[in-house]
Amino acid sequence: MAKTEPMDPIQNRVANEAKTRTDSDRSNNWLVTNYVVEVRNAFANYENIRQLRQAGRAYPMDDFKRKGKGRAMVVGSGSSLDLYVERLKDWPGKIFCSTSQGSTLVYHGRHPDHLCLVDPNSAPPESPEYDVPNNDWGNSILTTHPSGPWRDIKRWKETTPNDVYFFRLHDTRLEWYRSTLYYAYPWIESIIIPFLDSTAAQIAVAAYLGYDPIYLLGVDYGGPRFRKSIYQDGEWVVDPESRYDGGSLNYYDAITPEGVGTAPAYLFTKRGPCMCIAMHLYHGMSQRVYTLAPHDRTLMVELPYADFDKIVETGEDPPDAEYNTQKVYDDLSIYLAWTNTYAAPIHNGLGKSLAKYAVKDISDLPAILSRMNQDLARSKAYYQNMIKKSGMSLKEIAESGAVPDEGQKRAMMHIDLDAMRGVNIPEFMERAAAMHAIGNQRYGQRIRIRKEPVRASTVPKKEFLDRAEGEYLDVMTTPPKVMKERLAQDKDNKGGMKGKMHTENEGAYYESMGKAPGGLGLAHGKEVKHLRAKRKQVEGEYLEQMDTPPTYPENKRDKVVISKLTGDQENAYLDEMKPPPTKGKKAPPTKSKGKKKAPPKRGQ
């Protein structure tokens, strides 16, 4: 068995994050949060989508499969977007972006061709993401899935005349995606695998529609975010929460030799587009994928750089002959191997495929691949036994109506049992070990950990406080048992924060927060409200909008969800769950928040 050399600290943190997020259904954050939200959305969206179809505004994306021609750009939220955002109106091709960048493109005079909505969580009701002058989105098409945020889809239906393209997300582990969702929306046959983040899904959508080559801009996974423009109270302003002015190297956990700051969370999420692009190159759905960001502004250095200005001026793409598809595929595979993510080539009877696995250590792979080979063998034996008993071919069995499951019936019409094959485990392990070793050598040098502590005297105050705030939240979300172990190991710790921040910064941090140091006591009382105010609030807002039945809080699993609400949301939510007041009694008054102060105008 091939063993890998020890991982460097930053690589180990990336692998640990991958392990936490992918090991099992119980620990997979997506399965315990987004999956539940997606199921609810699919029910809540049914009437909205039915009305869109009646109005001739909703289309299955498979109606347009491979019909797109020419180049397309996929836009992300990195600062490299700022390099060319003012010139996007001159871009000679299609543009795909998420709702996060949509208003910014409109402000700069270029409506996106596809506004992609992948995240199932709704934007808050007061969010300005869909606010543009006169609700004019030009010819933008909302491209989403029936499990997408119901509030956003309803808002699009009611405020714009624009069309919607629908695809289905897919996860083979759950019956909901394999068949149930299909029965609810049988007219939507196109399937997209989300690959961890919305950028990867946008790449998949662009490739599915047939655009080639595909260019990435703002897909950086390092450095600060882009300068986000929003339309608020009748005027364009810069979103004060876009953090476009961040980016001091002291803010990040790791730095590339080119000077791009990053963190393990970014390196983990970067696997999504890497896996997506590798799969499309492998299957030939995309012939060329480039980055428009110089390599000193992005971490997507596995992709060749293309000159934005040259493409705009000439209207021509880089020559096909200069694109080395095999090298790009290998470089992407090496990065994935460095994060202990592997793609094993198989044939499932319907065509060649890549089986994707994220593991804690490469030594876990053989057992996983062995189970996959066994599953393929059982599937093949099942169909062979069906042929033997019926005396008919699989296609004839499917046409006879003997198979009630529509998905299985369609598969049986095309499956080739002779082509089915698993993985040659010894050969694959040899290749995987080699790629992992190359990755250690390549990225161990490219991505280094910032060793110097954050010092308030060496960074601007705002950046220092941003960093301190992130570290504070990290401490607050650390389980008490783990925190006690950390404190026990830190004999010099006196205030509960030393080791997370430099001592001389500790006082400045507490002074800025208006709090006094108190060790583990910070995780209790008033500090909980401060922590809650920093957490993501989408789930709580979603539950409030869904008019959950009064019996909902009695569900043990959902009590956990309620515990994630912020203080004000929790009170409002529990008030709604109380039984209606009896006759003669008035219902308790509800609290309403004042109107948020508008952020400063652009240029101020």
pLDDT digits (tens, 9 = 90+) for 134-159: 999 999 999 999 999 999 999 999 99
Q: How far apart are CA 142 and CA 525, in angstroms?
A: 44
- Within 8 A by CB and 6+ apart from 459, the residues are 248, 250, 251, 467
Tell me which residue has tokens 């969370």. 265
pLDDT under 50: residue ranges of the chain: 1-4, 17-28, 247, 452-462, 464-465, 467-469, 471-484, 486-487, 490-543, 545-566, 579-604
pLDDT at residue 447, as a whole number: 77
CB 317 within 8 A of CB 325: no
Nearest to 506 by CA among 460, 480, 467: 467
Side-by-side strand order, sheet with 261-262: 261-262, 254-255, 448-449
Q: How far apart are CA 497 and CA 503, in angstroms?
A: 8
CB 480 within 8 A of CB 523: yes
CB 283 within 8 A of CB 325: no
pLDDT at residue 241, as a whole number: 74
Helix boundaries (H) for 167-227:
175, 181-184, 198-209
Q: What pTM was estimated for this model as a whole?
A: 0.71
CB 23 within 8 A of CB 161: no
pLDDT at residue 179, as a whole number: 80
- Measured in degrees and rounded to the nearest 5, phi and psi for residue 519 equal 60, -140
CB 477 within 8 A of CB 514: no
Amino acid type, 95: I
E strands, 391-541, where? 448-449
Nearest to 336 by CA among 431, 270, 263: 270
Q: DSSP state, 601?
A: B
Q: Return the H-helix or E-strand segment holding 357.
A: strand 352-358
pLDDT at residue 126, as a whole number: 72
CA distances from 135 to 102, 115, 216, 232 (A): 12, 14, 27, 12
Q: How far apart are CA 197 and CA 265, in angstroms?
A: 12
pLDDT at residue 34, as a whole number: 79
Q: How far apart are CA 511 and CA 362, in angstroms?
A: 46
Q: Return the H-helix or E-strand segment holding 329.
A: helix 325-338
